[in-house]
Structure 1
Amino acid sequence: MGTYIVIASEKVHKSAAAMGGAMLMLLFILEGPSHGKKADASLDQNGQTTEIVQPSEPLVSQLDSFAQNINFDVIFTLAGMMVLVNILSETGLFQYVAIKSAKVAKGSPLNTLLLLVFATAILSAFLDNVTTILLIAPVTLVVAAELEVPPIPFLLCETMASNIGGTATLIGDPPNLIIGSYAGLSFSAFMVNLSPFIVVALLIYMFVLWFYYRDKMKVTIEKRARIMAFNEKEAITDKSKLRKGGLIMIFTLIGFLLHGMLHLEPSVVAMAGATCGLIACCDNVDHALEKIEWGTLFFFIGLFILVKGAEKAGLMAELGELLVHMNDWHPLAIMLTIMWVGGICAAIMNNVSFTAAAVIIIGQFMSTHEFFQIRLHEELLWWALALGVCLGGNGSAVGAAANMCAIGIAEKNGHKISFKDFLIYGVPVTIVSLIAASLYVSLRYYQLDL
């Protein structure tokens, strides 16, 4: 709680605050190589009794004890995609896409915003939302610069669209991967049960954006004419690197779509693409690695350790005991409670870290509840959890990995998005989307009985 208060206060950099909290967890809560050793008695050469400290676990397990607290699949997926995106950014590709998008939107900032939001949501359904933000954010910064409008509203709206769109499929948002893996749910099951609502939610979200910004995003006729006069082809500065880097990116994205079938973790796909990109496209590898958002990566490392420490200390068990009080509730009330509690906790704790613990708690609860022991009914709680944690990720700057990536990219380019700024945008979106999800669940599964 102290770490989150420090992060929200912005008195200390978020990465330093998260690492500080992680340090305290490692010192006082989490077991490491120096913990848990047992002593055996023996006699030395002088006949004196001494103690020989023996490790209670195999050496490999000891050495890995700290690493087990960190989700390196997320860390290396982020790092690999950062490398690839930085390689492509040096070719002029993003400037090309930015100018083309602005011209398709006829130079209108509002139409450009809606176009980018729609593209972000669609991409997030078939890629993970972090990768989508890494691809879209650089384009957005260039678009805003060309239109001479503030980029922060664009970035915030796209980030929330990525979390909404990513809810639709198994691979769209990391929490869905965790839920699908634990519960044995297929890609098609997520599409059938969640996609219909997400399509409607996206259309409502875009309408709200249009209504809110219709009088706020305007540029002069001269600026629109200047945008339409640009030649996007002139933005490409290195065609050779673009061809090689673009081909590697395409194969990497295909790898993300097929990683389950290929039995590969997303991090392996991302790092393979990054390695090929560094070999094929970079004369100066050190320069390419300098552009990685190290602050964002260390923030997540600290956050994973922080939440793991909270779990080790018994916080998750305490939360799990609260579910016992729901045994006599109506199933719909249980679903809605899990959805809303999941959404709130995801906003506070980060949806990936919370989901990793929540699936275990909910799985244990279902094993003791007769209604949810039936397979069809069991899935209802998983859909409620998925909607809650994915949509709840919009609730704060630390709610989802995509949020932190967008903030990191913005800061690196001189645009600060504060914790408070994100709350102002994210909380209303989260509340409205969870209300809409509650209506969807109630209508679909209990009124229409589908």
Structure 2
Amino acid sequence: MRHIMEYSTLIFWIGTVVFVGTYVLIASEKVHKTVAALLGAMLMLLVILPGPGHSSAEPAPAAESVAAENGIPAETDAGRALLQEERADALAQTEQAMSAVTGRKAMVRNAELYDKLDTFSRYSNFDVVFTLAGMMLLVNLLSGTGLFQYVAIRCAKVARGLPIRTMILLVLATAFLSAFLDNVTTILLVAPVTLLVCNELGVPPIPFLMAETMASNIGGTATLIGDPPNLIIGSIAGLNFADFLINLAPFIIVVMAIYCICLWVYYSKRMHVTVEKRALIMELDERAAITDWSNLRRGGIVMVLTIFGFLVHGALGLQPCVVAMAGATLALLICKVDVDHALEKIEWSTLFFFMALFILVCGAEYCGLMEKIGGLMSLMDGWPVPVVVLVIMWVSALAAAVMNNVSFTAAMVTVVAAFISSTPAFNHSMECRNLLWWGLALAVCLGGNASLVGAAANLVTVGIAEKNGHQVGFMDFLKYGVPVTLGSMVLASAYILARYYVTCTA
């Protein structure tokens, strides 16, 4: 028994070093984030996580949970014997925990079927991966038509070349697009046209680009597919597109309205252009930006159908990945595109980054690290529900700004799910349980605005600016991001408190 305990401790420390080291490497930006995540994932698969050949009868999280409680690694003979002896109890606990997280009874996979799954199928969340892939295909197809350039130029003309009006309209367009497209893709589409408009007006582009970046992260918070952290949270918590739209979108509209008012107050007297410059903007032909009317009509119809599919996927029992890939497949079928070229434009580095993160987190679960972290949250047992939610929100917002909101969310959802299942105040109340998930979603998405590394869209914006001769340093970004994050988090806290007293105490 002694050597078993020592082996368990060794596994814990190896997994902890790999997990923490990978996150430090990602945050340092010394190595590409995808390479760093893949390195950590491969180390977890090589050293920590069992594969199909390990005869582990239970899914890794369940097996780890039972073994960790007794200090015995699940892949040892003693561990397997213990799991066999306590199989019925472990399955019952797994069903109860999953039910608490999703709000409905979850199916526990047959052990033999699970054992036949390949390694990556065991530990990667392909619902998130294929949802992203499908939306990337759709967006890339529409971007080739010039639609998004048309929108940006049209906004500038509607504003009649007035800088502050142009900024507000571009910010609103960015927020709206980010609710249905990937944030990074939205910035890649809007930023180049913003640089063109600013050049014609003769105004500095950095305030425009920063405002659009903040808007992309705020607007993306409104829907399941708007920001990658929401996809991760929705997948674990069993929340669908309509849930996000109903519970977060109205609040985000309020936040955007307040944000635009703040921009107007701050910049309205700081930007001035001549009549001649405004005339140049009015001479731009937005219709000339549309390069493929045929694909625009067909792709637009497919996008509308796909969004409708997201609205009803919960009622139909479909996963978001099925809706996204069905839309992408239909678009490839009816639109005149080079399929090989379309597939090449998928952001494969982003997809592999997500897959690696999921494996990394599973390794941290298996070695017992997440259980230790969850133990820290147990210190809040007995605290009032709104206090617990607000503490988790503000800590998560800070961590998202430091670690990158996607990386942090991938790890945090597991801890929150375990905390919910073990805390009666959340476990026995769906309203309180969902309140915590909404708080987490708001925190990680809005917290990503605080720093340069907080969200991928931030890095993309700075990269585009630097390529065009405009430098934005880490401290420069903080001057824009921190006030926006603090203001939006205060509003989010007020919203969560209001929801608690309206829904959880009624």
Matched, 1:16 2:16: no
- Is the 2:213–2:461 contact (alpha carbons within 8 Å) kept by the matching residues of 1? no
1:208 is aligned to 262
- Is the 1:75–1:300 contact (alpha carbons within 8 Å) kept by the matching residues of 2? yes
Q: Hey, what's the Cα distance between the residues in 1 that align with 2:445 and 2:209?
A: 18
RMSD across aligned C-alpha pairs, in angstroms? 3.9
Query: Which sits farther off after the overlay, 201-210 or 152-161?
Result: 152-161
2:449 is aligned to 394
Count of matched residue pairs: 426
Q: Hey, what's the Cα distance between the residues in 1 that align with 2:462 and 2:53?
A: 40
2:316 is aligned to 262
The amino acid of 2:192's aligned partner reads L
1:224-263 map, 5 Å: 224-263=278-317
TM-score by length of 2: 0.70
Aligned counterpart for 2:190 among listed residues 131, 139, 143 = 139
1:114 is aligned to 168
Deviations 1:191-219 (A, max 9, x none): 77656644443233223333454466555
Deviations 1:200-256 (A, max 9, x none): 432332233334544665555433211111222222222222222222222222222
The amino acid of 1:404's aligned partner reads A
Deviations 1:354-393 (A, max 9, x none): 45314422322322x5x97455555544444343344334
Does the residue aligned with 1:306 lie in a helix, a strand or coil?
helix
- Is the 2:241–2:313 contact (alpha carbons within 8 Å) kept by the matching residues of 1? no
The verdict on how the C-alpha distance between 1:420 and 1:258 changes in structure 2, with shifts beyond 3 A counting, is farther
The verdict on how the C-alpha distance between 1:39 and 1:257 changes in structure 2, with shifts beyond 3 A counting, is closer
The amino acid of 1:266's aligned partner reads P
Matched, 1:404 2:459: no
- Is the 2:213–2:458 contact (alpha carbons within 8 Å) kept by the matching residues of 1? yes
Unaligned runs of 5+ in 2: 1-19, 57-74, 78-110
The verdict on how the C-alpha distance between 1:419 and 1:282 changes in structure 2, with shifts beyond 3 A counting, is farther
The amino acid of 1:205's aligned partner reads Y
Q: Hey, what's the Cα distance between the residues in 1 that align with 2:241 and 2:222?
A: 10
Q: Hey, what's the Cα distance between the residues in 2 that align with 1:217 and 1:179?
A: 40
1:283-362 map, 5 Å: 283-347=337-401, 348=403, 350=406, 352-362=409-419
The verdict on how the C-alpha distance between 1:199 and 1:100 changes in structure 2, with shifts beyond 3 A counting, is closer
Deviations 1:121-170 (A, max 9, x none): 44556x4xx44663564134223323326766545534433443454566
- Is the 1:85–1:135 contact (alpha carbons within 8 Å) kept by the matching residues of 2? no
Does the residue aligned with 1:66 lie in a helix, a strand or coil?
helix
Q: Hey, what's the Cα distance between the residues in 2 that align with 1:107 and 1:154?
A: 14
TM-score by length of 1: 0.78
- Is the 1:141–1:151 contact (alpha carbons within 8 Å) kept by the matching residues of 2? no
Unaligned runs of 5+ in 1: 41-56
The amino acid of 1:385's aligned partner reads L
Does the residue aligned with 1:394 lie in a helix, a strand or coil?
coil
Q: Hey, what's the Cα distance between the residues in 2 that align with 1:249 and 1:139?
A: 19
The verdict on how the C-alpha distance between 1:117 and 1:29 changes in structure 2, with shifts beyond 3 A counting, is farther
The verdict on how the C-alpha distance between 1:342 and 1:72 changes in structure 2, with shifts beyond 3 A counting, is same
Q: Hey, what's the Cα distance between the residues in 2 that align with 1:65 and 1:443?
A: 44
1:49 is aligned to none
State the 1:9 CA deviation: 2.7
